[in-house]
Chains A and B, each alone.
Chain A
Amino acid sequence: GAVVSQHPSRVICKSGTSVKIECRSLDFQATTMFWYRQFPKQSLMLMATSNEGSKATYEQGVEKDKFLINHASLTLSTLTVTSAHPEDSSFYICSGAGGPDTQYFGPGTRLTVL
């Protein structure tokens, strides 16, 4: 299957700071990318859908001003958690649509906010 990378794999930051997470499709072009988060012992929850060159579509309850998504190229999407707080600590996972049929997921980024 196609490969998606994320950077960093884990990050620890202080409350109030901002953190940027990168998601790259390494061997395919992802017109559409998705961002999920997963709290401990829970399933993945979709946060937003982003299309290259346009604004992201956020799921209900996800603050677009807090979770900034940029999808400037067909191989790169970024998620910035602004003014992070301990309740934002979670496992953030991106995926890229390699075609109309399939999404390929990155390895995830573990965010811990102190």
Chain B
Amino acid sequence: DAKTTQPPSMDCAEGRAANLPCNHSTISGNEYVYWYRQIHSQGPQYIIHGLKNNETNEMASLIITEDRKSSTLILPHATLRDTAVYYCIVRVAGWGSTLTFGKGTMLLVSP
């Protein structure tokens, strides 16, 4: 069963911020929230992950609600190259811990 819920698709204008929501209401205390994206016919690309604090890196920001039941991935200035399927995944840390991919959100960035 899917542990996360994401909208199937979203649109964003180039240059604007893209805010991708994710619900994970059954997340456990030791599970992190991970975001990956997959551009068509390529392997997934790691974006960011967090446990409970908000995180930011050169690609994106991750905002996790205080109850940890939902999160938002923010691409501050979307470009056409950000068009991809974005996957929100909950996972415990650990070398052998697996990633379970759901259907993700297809983000289309338009000029």
Residues of A within 8 A of B (CB): 1, 4, 6, 31-32, 34, 36, 43-46, 49, 51, 91, 93, 95, 97, 99-108, 110
Contact = CB atoms under 8 A, between A and B. Distances in A.
Contacts of A107: 42-43
B43 A110 contact: no
A34 B98 contact: yes
B43 A93 contact: yes
A101 B96 contact: no
A101 to B, nearest CB: 5
Main secondary structure of the interface of B (DSSP, over half): loop
A105 B96 contact: no
Contacts of B42: 107-108
Interface residues of B, number: 23
A32 B95 contact: yes
Given A31-B95, A44-B101, A46-B98, A1 B43 contact: no
A100 B46 contact: no
15 contacts: A31-B95, A32-B95, A32-B96, A44-B44, A44-B101, A45-B101, A49-B96, A95-B43, A95-B44, A100-B94, A104-B46, A105-B36, A105-B45, A106-B43, A108-B42
A103 B47 CA distance: 11
Given A31-B95, A95-B99, 4 more contacts: A46-B99, A97-B95, A105-B36, A105-B44
